[in-house]
Amino acid sequence: MPHLPISKQDMKKRGIGQPDFVYVCGDAYVDHPSFGHAIISRILEAYGYSVGIIAQPDWRDENSIAILGEPRLGFFVSGGNMDSMVNHYTVNKKKRSMDAYSPGGKTGLRPDRATIVYGNLIRKKFKHIPIIIGGIEASLRRMGHYDYWSDSMKRSILLDSGADLLSYGMGEKSTVEIADALSSGIAVSDITFIRGTVYKARSYEHTVDGILLPPYSQVQNDKKKYAQSYAIQYENTDPYTAKPLIEEYDHNVYVIQNPPSYPLTVQEMDDVYDLPYMNAPHPSYKEKGGVPAINEIKFSITSNRGCFGGCSFCALTFHQGRIVQVRSHESIIKEAVKMTKDPEFKGYIHDVGGPTADFRRPSCDKQLKYGVCKDKQCLFPKPCKNLKVDHSDYIELLRKLRKLEGVKKVFIRSGVRFDYLLADKDDTFFNEMLKYHVSGQLRVAPEHISDRVLNYMGKPGGGVYERFLKKYEEYNKRTGKKQYAIPYLMSSHPGSTMKEAIELAEYVRDLGYMPEQVQDYYPTPSTLSTVMYYTGYDPRDMKKVFVERNPHRKAMQRALIQYKDPKNYELVKEALLENGRYDLIGYGKECLIPPRPWKPKKKEKHRK
């Protein structure tokens, strides 16, 4: 089946006079299940609705939103696979030089705050048509939230976008229910009953068992109130235990969040990934260099979604939830076999995983009946006694994939939790991962080594990572391979003072090499860490947290991790002197930097 229509000419070929829905997206149109717009539009099509795609419309021209005409039932709008502000700007708020989700990697093809801009553009052109916003940008900005780029609180994106309804989370179930409700003649203003949606109302009297959050006027002006509000939201992200949440705005307007959609069953997950995707960008992008984002994921397979890891800086709890959902082996094998028929396939499956590759079941048996625990995590600060650690299903899946004709190697690149690996008493997966699924380097994410900082991150203590490294080295020796664990480290996370940054630098020194993957903490919408960053409070216990916001001092923390880089010398020296760590300046083995910058000798000019 070809790509969905992007023009009236395409619609004519399909016999579509007026589409039921038009999907407007900030990404280029790539018909692959790693792209949200592909999943949602194909699901609508599978349920009998005709869908047209408008990818990256020119927001400066209101007619760009009308190239497919007025849809019969409504517009779906998404900013893309990333929040448009994260897509556009680095943590230093500088413009990025490339957009992997645009043709040829070109920047500037979508506006800042794309969901808001597209929504208002549609509303200007089509006064009364229903507008439903979704995707990661809408999902994480669904209630009042802190916005790093403006350094201010923002209202629910539902209000600022001019939309009628917001679908949060992965959206498959809510999308179909919304479509069916509109098709049956229910006014969009009356669609207040669907899980996984947020709507606006003049009253909340109809809401059953709802929880009133602090009004927006309070969280806008009181950081502690915002931290308290977020704590309530965080406790209501599980579909089995969550209550409706109500946030009051001025002029008797209420934004009401229904509980999340229930997790997909294995069959429902299979159905989503069995839709007739083209697994390629739209052909119209070929002359422009294609869409770079497809390159890594084209030969990767999604096997699960959701994560019970609970990292404070990750948005997964708010978006996909903590309950792991999986596809069947049959569905995954079917996709892999299809992959091997692709002329571009070279025999390498780049990844088989999801948010955490080796999570192939809920963390405990009670979750699908009672939900996840509100007051504790599955792996933090140590594995829960009810945690079911079992890699057998994943082992079996990987073995099946390795045996497929045409498959040379199956990699695991979406990451594994080293604490979960250590909790497994059966080392079969550990052995097979190192033997078959790593190519020289395994990327892992300890993030930091200070227990104080790791506590704020929701990560296990540094000793856990040290135990993992010892085991990793031991098992590599057994397989006769020389493979490295490459740590991903983060600077300036809430709770990290210069003291902890220097501790991390000393750890890097002892590693014997400078990590390439270093991330200055980036406060993205609706994570625990972002709330800490903005408010200075930890929403989990409402205790104060140290936060480094000064750009120069943040640069010092980052420079310490990469202290060997000559351009970081002055920043590293300043940090060490300021903290009285003169012992780390010198020529000894324990020193990070010499007393003065190393300068290469100038080459003497030869006399003629």
Q: For residues 170 and 27, what is the distance between their CA atoms, to the nearest angstrom?
A: 17
Provide the β-strand partners of residue 514.
none
Provide the β-strand partners of residue 604.
none
Q: For residues 532 and 456, what is the distance between their CA atoms, to the nearest angstrom?
A: 9
Task: Report the pLDDT value the prediction gives residue 340, as an integer from 0 to 100.
Answer: 96
Among the listed residues 375, 392, 397, 393, the one whose alpha carbon sits nearest the alpha carbon of residue 384: 375
Q: Domains, the chain, ranges and CATH? A: 8-257 (3.40.50.280), 299-436 (3.30.750.210), 440-608 (3.30.750.200)
DSSP, residue by residue, 447-507: E-S-HHHHHHHT---HHHHHHHHHHHHHHHHHHT---EEEEEEEES-TT--HHHHHHHHHH
Give the Cβ contact number of residue 600 at 10 Å: 6
Task: Report the pLDDT value the prediction gives residue 608, as an integer from 0 to 100.
Answer: 43
Type of residue at 450 = S
b (16+ CB within 10 A) / e for 94-105: eeeeebbbbbeb
Q: Each residue of 17-46: pLDDT tens digit? A: 999 999 999 999 999 999 999 999 999 999
Give the Cβ contact number of residue 66 at 10 Å: 16
Among the listed residues 153, 172, 173, 155, the one whose alpha carbon sits nearest the alpha carbon of residue 163: 155
Q: For residues 541 and 547, what is the distance between their CA atoms, to the nearest angstrom?
A: 16
Q: How distant, in Å, are the alpha carbons of 175, 230, 270, 566 from that of 264?
A: 14, 26, 9, 51
Type of residue at 238 = D
Phi, psi of 606 (to 5 degrees): -75, 135
Residues of the chain with pLDDT under 50: 607-608
Residue entry with tokens 């664990």: 485
Task: Report the pLDDT value the prediction gives residue 315, as an integer from 0 to 100.
Answer: 93
H helices then E strands: how many in the chain? 23, 24
Task: Report the pLDDT value the prediction gives residue 101, as an integer from 0 to 100.
Answer: 98
Q: How distant, in Å, are the alpha carbons of 37, 93, 358, 447, 565 from that of 552?
A: 39, 14, 39, 21, 17
DSSP reduced 3-state for 385: coil
Give the Cβ contact number of residue 93 at 10 Å: 12
Q: Give the containing element (helix H, strand E) for 433.
A: helix 428-436
